[in-house]
Amino acid sequence: MCGIVGFVGDRPAADVLLNGLRRLEYRGYDSAGLALMGTDGALHVVKQTGKVSALAEKVRKAIPRKEVRAAHVGIAHTRWATHGLPTEANAHPQVSADGKIAVVHNGIIENYAAVRAQLEGRGVVFASQTDTEVLAHLIAAYEHGDLLAAVMEALRRVDGTYGIAVVSTEHPGQVVVARKGSPLVVGVGDGETIVASDVSAIVSMTRNVIYLQDGDVGVVTADGVRLYGLDTSASVERPVASVEWEVGAAEKEGYEHFMLKEIFEQPSSLRNALRGRLEMNRGTAILSGLNLTPRELAGIRRCVIVGCGTSLHAGMVGKYLFEGLADVPTSPEQAAEFRYCNPILAPDDLVIAISQSGETADTLAAVREAVQKGTVVAGLCNVVGSTIARETGRGVYLHAGPEIGVASTKAFTSQVAVLLLLALKMGRGRRLSREEGMTLCREIEGIPGLVEQVLAQNERIAQVAEKYAQVRDAFFIGRGILYPTALEGALKLKEISYIHAEGYQAAELKHGPIALLDESVPVVALLNDIPGKEKTLGNVEECRARKAPVIGIVTAGDEAATAAVADVIEVPRTSSYVAPIVTAVALQIFAYHVARLRGCEIDQPRNLAKSVTVE
């Protein structure tokens, strides 16, 4: 949603803050700002609409170089607007009226209007429309020589979610941090400490990190962090974890965009998701993080899968996997809807929360609702130590490495692969024989190689994309297990190219949307040679009869399907269970090239943020 960085140490803070912001820019990118602790005892606050590069330029012009080099403490922020337009005034840091306290904040202060009215009643003049500004004024009101105590007092008066970093001219060697609902990580270096919304801003400096937990408040100094509980004010200890990511994992490494890099990483991200999890000679999967005995797993009567966006689409694929391989009735649910529909859950249900970031507020709220109802909840997350991973306490990590592009790619294929492992494991406890399990194991083991074959089509797919790059609308149709992939293909195209794209069940098109088809509206038909293809071919004929050009995702060598469409993107032959993975990769590449040809900001599409931590 927004990105926070804070630093205390010996080197110029501006370098650390701006580098950190660049790595967090995927979290929000409508405006950015920083506050540096000046040697003259005042704060230098610089804010700018647009990208971090524009902020860096403004810092260079606004503060004398000598001052910038001499400032060793500071905080910074990249914003995705929730309250107020993306203007300079609304950018963070937000500053107290006396200019002594600066706050960066990720999250939402829900009672900000009431708090603001109270403060205004006491004569405080507000400079922005943000909810965050109330924190700056509240902290100033409680600051009587102890910044930590003032922050705690202020936080006790607000409702909502926050990850914050605060500096004060009265405490020049400190950054005070707090977390409730929005992630914060402290990186502990040698004589320097960095705090950030996620580890990608930290790994270039240190791999030793402390994940703050909800309710933690702390004082960051060059020597590390001292943490306290907001409720008790008592000191709390959090373990120091070691980050496994390579620094390069969060860099483009020669690719034009993170999205392209992440698409091409899929053979290796899938190998990482599968590593050590296939037990070939027993024809099953090992998923120890689930922490469920074979008996408990066999006792599951129903699965409910919650998620949003791409993760929801993976969950929808999960329904076909769990029902097809394990006979477990499965309902995929949009996480926000799940939370507000008073879900009926039984003790022998398993709720699975899917989230790349592990921080999506709607999915987290669904997890809490399910936990509240006493259900077993497992997380399928990519980010290690994320809130959903911690609160579920059991689950399976994707091990896909950092996904920086706002459009999710490698996380989707790893999510589906992990769901396939889980379906195999549950299936072996029910109706799959050892031989059937072994056959599936071999196919799953071959997935990374199949994805390599799709990636080899990159140039061919780029040619098809060129033909359709300027269309205004597009439809994606798929049947059965390929229907969620049609939704995912449409989501990829719309979010990065801004083409209006809709995914439909192939059979549903004729019940209304077909009215929109003509020669200017392409239909991407998922025609993999799996059961249901013949029927989808019938739907393709209906589209062609309305003059819509059809792009077919076709199994290599399938002449009948090839003959039925205007343009072909080939994918390798697979079973139904693996088809969503290879097809999604082809659709990711197609969307990428369309967006590239339209000159779009592929890694940071307008209006979006990578991690949506507000409901």
User: Site residues (CB under 6 A) for ligand M6R?
Assistant: 308-311, 355-357, 360, 363, 406-408, 491, 495, 611-612
CB-nearer residue toward ligand M6R: 343 or 605: 605
Question: 148 or 308, CB closer to ligand M6R?
Answer: 308
Quickly tell me which residue has 């999915």 as its tokens.
Answer: 363
Residues 154/139, Cβ–Cβ less than 8 Å? yes
Identity of the residue, 379 or 549, whose beta carbon is nearer to ligand M6R in the bound complex:
379
Pairing mode, strands 284-285 and 302-307: unpaired
Q: Do 567 and 527 contact (CB within 8 A), yes or no? A: no
> What whole-number distance in Å separates Cα of residue 47 and Cα of residue 31?
8
Q: How far is the CB of 360 from ligand M6R (least distance, A)?
A: 3
Distance CA 493, CA 511 (A): 23
Beta carbons of 479 and 529 less than 8 angstroms apart: no
Closest CA to 105 of 203, 187, 3: 3
441 noted as active-site residue: no
543 given a catalytic annotation: no
User: Shortest CA distance to 564 belongs to which of 549, 574, 576, 546?
Assistant: 549
Torsion over CA: 140, 51, 609, 380 (sign): negative
The least distance separating ligand M6R from the CB of residue 371, rounded to whole angstroms, comes to: 17
Q: How far is the CB of 243 from ligand M6R (least distance, A)?
A: 19
Residue given tokens 């409901």 in the structure block = 615
Q: Report how far residue 494's alpha carbon sits from residue 481's, in angstroms, rounded to the nearest whole number.
A: 21
Judged by beta carbon, residue 220 or residue 406, the one nearer ligand M6R is 406
- Token pair 């606004």 is found at 62
What are the contacts of 244-249 at 24+ separation with CB within 8 A? 244/207, 244/384, 245/199, 245/200, 245/203, 245/401, 245/402, 247/203, 247/204, 249/401, 249/402
- The 3-class SS string of 420-464 reads HHHHHHHHHCCCCCHHHHHHHHHHHHCHHHHHHHHHCCHHHHHHH
Cβ of residue 494: shortest distance to ligand M6R, in angstroms?
10
- Choice among 2, 308, 381, 441 that is catalytic: 2
- What is the chain's Cα-based Rg? 25
CB of 406 to ligand M6R, least distance (A): 5
Q: Report, in Å, the least distance between residue 381 CB and ligand M6R.
A: 8
Task: Please say which residue, 360 or 414, places its beta carbon nearer to ligand M6R.
Answer: 360
Cα dihedral sign, 194-184-65-221: negative
Residue with the shortest CB distance to ligand M6R: 309
CB-wise, 195 or 496, nearer to ligand M6R?
Answer: 496
Residue tagged active-site, from 100, 410, 533, 610 = 610
Our CB check for ligand M6R shows the closer of 212 and 491 to be 491
The residue whose two tokens read 């620094």 is 247
* CB of residue 104 to ligand M6R, shortest distance in Å: 22
Residues with catalytic roles: 2, 610
